[in-house]
A and B are shown apart, each in its own frame.
Chain A
């Protein structure tokens, strides 16, 4: 279990004069739940965008399961087993909640010819995906909305849908961008409990950006702290909470 699933080597990303990610080197162990904290604008989301191929890094390398993935297109990275969620939920407004979920699973009926000529084959597959989707919706308390256009959900529900979508596609690693922002405390805790359960059952690795530090620290194995595009600290939650630099730039002295 000690091999890293994801590691980066000196990643740099500039936007004009701004260096958003400035030499990030990190490595995440397989099967871990790892947190990423840092003040607003410290480059956390940009780092996620680089890892998932939305941006190309200006320099540096990314390894996923021992393979280099920098320079690949987002859809290629998905097929390697790396999936992310978005901080602001990207919801398919004019599609049902169920379709929003089922979209994310690779389906044999997504090819042009199979869609036309292998209806029987993918219909069966669709049924299985649908059952799984309903199961996840039930868990998140969204099952009664399954045929509602997703644009009619509330903000918090969209957030849940965003997470559900990543879970259902069964990747080997999920990057979660603020999964519990705008979610009530009890449900937020439930989400983290669920993530731990999934990690235990399916061995999925999680890398989580979150501002609810107390909650995050309870559930993660390790934490990375970012500030001005750099990783300034890395370690066990208990060490990070007492780290002077982290207190100065992020946690504040209470």
Chain B
């Protein structure tokens, strides 16, 4: 990378995509206590569906919608048998789901190019005559509008009686069911929604990178998303986004170190160690994450603004 601005823009785009993933994990883990360690599987499904669909010359809208649909259907199918498991068993099952998905893609060459992957995925928005940098900015605009939409969706969900039920399930499943909440139903719904959002993130990722291969979807991706949520603050959507920026920024900047210092060890290895230390420090000294969960009642500002805007839109629709 010659132009440092490009590097920065690329980091911003990545942080946006991972922000969507970390919001979706936050909904699952932060609010509902579902230890989904298979995030990468749904991310991968989204990316591959988009890649296959675009190689069949479908527009991005269609392929991303299908990616959302397929990711959530697979989410529901995997959740039906696994959500009855306790937290840690669920985590292990989900890790293996990610690995199985990757193996299927690697071995079924007819489906998605096997180990070679699929390349030549066109970007979602093609404006002829733009420079490379301007194209990056268009990408960022697209990714961030999706990120904001996902953020607002999650905020609306968690700041409602529905969100209160999710938190009740997180704190005490037996109590939730004693007071008439169908715990299993809620878990499946949250899982489906989280998977759908991961699928959408995968779809954006595929059209941004332009190529997908099984080696992009190692379990490390899942752990990165987990780090983002844990550092940023579970059960706080802004925190999840902040976490995504932090982890992405931290990884990028530690990769740059090698250009300025003569290090006795491989900077990529150093980066892994530094990230681990960062996680340990946060878990020790600020276990609630950078942004704490807000326990106050949910008549906050954002909620009021969104509600009033929704009312405006509704009355406007009625008038016209």
Residues of A near any B CB (own CB < 8 A): 52, 54, 73-75, 78-79, 83-84, 86, 90, 92-96, 98-99, 102-104, 106-112, 114-116, 119-120, 122-123, 126, 147, 149, 165, 169
Whether the Cβ atoms of A75 and B163 lie closer than 8 Å is no
How many A-B contacts at CB < 8 Å in the complex? 100
Contacting residues, chain A, for B162 (C-beta < 8 A): 109-112, 114-115
- CB proximity to A under 8 Å, residues B167-215: 167-168, 171-172, 174-183, 189
Whether the Cβ atoms of A96 and B297 lie closer than 8 Å is yes
Whether the Cβ atoms of B296 and A103 lie closer than 8 Å is no
Contacting residues, chain A, for B180 (C-beta < 8 A): 75, 78-79, 106, 169
Q: What 10 A-B pairs have minimum CB-CB distances, sorted nearest first?
A: A78-B180, A115-B162, A109-B161, A115-B160, A74-B177, A107-B161, A92-B171, A104-B179, A90-B175, A75-B177
Whether the Cβ atoms of A98 and B297 lie closer than 8 Å is yes
Residue of chain A at shortest CB distance from B307: A119
Whether the Cβ atoms of A94 and B168 lie closer than 8 Å is no
Pick 17 A–B contacts, CB within 8 A, sort by A. Answer: A54-B174, A73-B182, A78-B180, A83-B178, A84-B178, A92-B171, A94-B293, A95-B295, A104-B179, A106-B180, A110-B164, A110-B181, A111-B162, A115-B162, A116-B153, A147-B297, A165-B179
Contacting residues, chain A, for B157 (C-beta < 8 A): 112, 115-116
Beyond the given pairs A75-B176, A79-B180, A122-B161, 10 more chain A to chain B contacts, judged by CB atoms under 8 angstroms and listed by A's residue number, are A73-B177, A94-B235, A96-B295, A103-B164, A109-B161, A112-B157, A115-B156, A119-B310, A147-B296, A165-B179
B67 within 8 A of A: no
Whether the Cβ atoms of A122 and B160 lie closer than 8 Å is yes
B276 within 8 A of A: no
- Contact residues of B: prevailing secondary structure: helix
B311 within 8 A of A: yes
Once bound together, how far apart are the Cα atoms of A92 and B165, in whole Å? Answer: 11
Once bound together, how far apart are the Cα atoms of A30 and B162, in whole Å? Answer: 33
Residues of B near any A CB (own CB < 8 A): 153, 156-157, 160-165, 167-168, 171-172, 174-183, 189, 235, 293, 295-297, 307, 310-311
Selected from B161, B176, B293, the residue in CB contact (under 8 A) with A126 is B161
Whether the Cβ atoms of A95 and B310 lie closer than 8 Å is no
Closest CB of chain B to A189's CB: distance in Å? 27
Whether the Cβ atoms of B156 and A92 lie closer than 8 Å is no
Whether the Cβ atoms of B171 and A94 lie closer than 8 Å is yes
Selected from A103, A106, A108, the residue in CB contact (under 8 A) with B168 is A103
Whether the Cβ atoms of B179 and A119 lie closer than 8 Å is no
Once bound together, how far apart are the Cα atoms of A212 and B183, in whole Å? Answer: 35
Closest CB of chain B to A169's CB: distance in Å? 7
Contacting residues, chain A, for B168 (C-beta < 8 A): 92, 95, 103
Once bound together, how far apart are the Cα atoms of A106 and B70, in whole Å? Answer: 32
Contacting residues, chain B, for A119 (C-beta < 8 A): 156, 160, 307, 310
The answer to whether residues A149 and B178 also contact, given A94-B167, A99-B164 and a CB cut-off of 8 A, is no
Once bound together, how far apart are the Cα atoms of A164 and B40, in whole Å? Answer: 44
Closest CB of chain A to B317's CB: distance in Å? 13
Contacting residues, chain A, for B165 (C-beta < 8 A): 103, 110
Contacting residues, chain B, for A116 (C-beta < 8 A): 153, 156-157, 160
Once bound together, how far apart are the Cα atoms of A104 and B176, in whole Å? Answer: 8
Residue of chain A at shortest CB distance from B180: A78
Once bound together, how far apart are the Cα atoms of A93 and B172, in whole Å? Answer: 9
Contacting residues, chain B, for A109 (C-beta < 8 A): 160-162
Selected from B167, B182, B307, the residue in CB contact (under 8 A) with A75 is B182
Whether the Cβ atoms of B172 and A90 lie closer than 8 Å is yes
Whether the Cβ atoms of A90 and B174 lie closer than 8 Å is yes
